[in-house]
Amino acid sequence: MSKSTIRTLWIAVCVVALFIAGIYAVSRTTKTTAVVLPDEPKQSELQKQYVAKGYTDEVAALLEKNYSQDSSQLLSISYTPNILDYLQQPYFRFANYDRYLEYSRKHPEYPIAQVVNRTNMYLDYDFYAHDIAVDDYSILVLANKYYRLGESYVPKDLVDIPSNLSTYAMKGRREAVAALETLISSMKSEADLTVRVTSAYRSYSYQNSLYNTYVNASGEAAADALSARPGYSEHQTGLAFDLLASGYTLENFYKTPQSQWVSENAYRFGFIIRYQEGKTDITGYSKEEWHLRYVGIDAATYITSHDLTFEEYYMMNEVNEQ
Ligand SMILES: [Zn+2]
C-alpha cells in the first residue's frame, strides 16, 4: 500500500469514528431530555390512592395540595366527580357527605351550596321524622320540627310578664322578658303604639293539650299546620312571645302599624320575627308576624341584616364551632 492510500484509510476510519461518536452523543442528549418530559409525572402514593378511587390526575393533585388535612376522610368517602365543589362550601361537613349526595340526587334543582346548607339543617328528612335531642338551653337554643326539647325541660329563670303588658298571667325567661319590656315601652315612646303579649312560655303539658285539641278537631295534618307538637314548640323555651294589637287577630297583626314597627325595630332589642314569609320550607311554619323570638342583640342584628332564618344562623355557628 502506498503512503497516500494509508492516509486515506486513516481519514476514513476517523470520519466513521466521529460519526459514531456523534450519534452516541445525540442519543444521550435525547435520553436526558426524555427524563424531564411531563409525560412521565411522578405521583405520590396519596395521589395514586385518589386516582384509584376514580379521581382524575388533576383532581388528585389538587386534593393532595389543598386538602392535606382531610386525606383520610377523603379516602373514606365515596367517589364523586364534583368533590372539589363540595369541599369549597363553607359549611361542608364530611359527616353529612352521603346525605349531600342523596339530597342532590333527589333535588337536582338546588345548587351545591343549598344542598349542603339544607342537609346540614336536616331538611333532607321530613318534619318530625328525625329527632335531635336539645341539650344546650342557652339564649340561642333552637327548637323546631327536628330539634326536640326535653319533656321535663322548664327554664330555670322564668319570671312573670307585667300584667299590664299581657292578656293574662304568663312567664318568660328573665333576660327575654326584660328586653320585651324595653321593646314595648320604646314602641310606645317612639311611635305611640301599644301591644300586649298573648302567649309566652308554654309548658310541655300545655303544648300537649293544645296540640291534641287541634288533632281532635281537625286531624293530625291540620293540627301540624297550626300548632307545634309537644316538645317542638319554641314557646317551651320561654324565649318566644306572641304580640297582639288591639282590635286585630294574630293572623291580621301584619296589617297593623305595630307590626310594621316591630319588623323594623325588633332586632334593636334582641328579637327576630321568627317565621317569615317565603321561609316555610326551612322553618316548617307559615309566616307569623306576631311571633317574636329573643336571641340577644348581636344575633338578632346579624340575622335581620342578612335576612336569615334562625335555622340558618344556628347551622352556620354550629359548623364554625366544630
Ligand atoms: Zn308563637
> Where residue 247 sits, what CATH number does that domain have?
3.30.1380.10
The reply to whether 161 and 241 lie within a common domain is yes
The reply to whether 165 and 310 lie within a common domain is yes
The Cβ of residue 104 has, within 10 Å, a number of other Cβ atoms equal to 20
pLDDT in tens, 27-61: 555 555 555 565 556 889 999 999 999 999 999 99
Residue tagged 321535663 (cell numbers)? 152
- 231 CA distance to ligand 1 middle (Å): 14
Residue 24 confidence (pLDDT) above 90: no
Q: How far is CA 318 from CA 13, 36, 294, in A?
A: 85, 49, 18
Name the residue with higher pLDDT: 168 or 265.
265
- 259 CA distance to ligand 1 middle (Å): 14
Last residue of a domain, one of 88, 120, 152: 120
- Tell me the C-alpha distance between 289 and 275, whole Å: 7
The pairing of strands 240-244 and 288-294 is antiparallel
pLDDT level of residue 305 (50, 70, 90 thresholds): very high
The reply to whether 110 and 148 lie within a common domain is no
- 281 CA distance to ligand 1 middle (Å): 18
- 198 CA distance to ligand 1 middle (Å): 9
Residue 147 confidence (pLDDT) above 90: yes
pLDDT in tens, 3-23: 666 676 666 665 566 666 655
Within a domain: 15: no
- 120 CA distance to ligand 1 middle (Å): 25
The reply to whether 148 and 280 lie within a common domain is yes
Please give the tally of structural domains in the chain. Answer: 2
Q: Exposed, middle or buried: residue 232 (CB in 10 Å: 0-12, 13-18, 19+)? A: buried
Within a domain: 298: yes
Region 260-278: mean pLDDT is: 98
- 275 CA distance to ligand 1 middle (Å): 9
- Tell me the C-alpha distance between 154 and 141, whole Å: 13
Within a domain: 31: no
The reply to whether 115 and 160 lie within a common domain is no
Beta-bridged to residue 159, according to DSSP, are 172
- 185 CA distance to ligand 1 middle (Å): 21
pLDDT in tens, 121-142: 999 999 999 999 999 899 999 9
Within a domain: 250: yes
pLDDT in tens, 111-124: 999 999 999 999 99
The reply to whether 243 and 295 lie within a common domain is yes
- Tell me the C-alpha distance between 80 and 99, whole Å: 13
- 211 CA distance to ligand 1 middle (Å): 13
The reply to whether 79 and 223 lie within a common domain is no
Name the residue with higher pLDDT: 31 or 68.
68
Region 300-319: mean pLDDT is: 95
Quote the mean pLDDT of the chain: 91
Residue 211 confidence (pLDDT) above 90: yes
The pLDDT score that the predictor gives to residue 42 is 82
The reply to whether 105 and 238 lie within a common domain is no
The pLDDT score that the predictor gives to residue 142 is 97
The pLDDT score that the predictor gives to residue 287 is 94
Q: How far is CA 39 from CA 47, 229, 233, in A?
A: 16, 64, 63
- 317 CA distance to ligand 1 middle (Å): 24
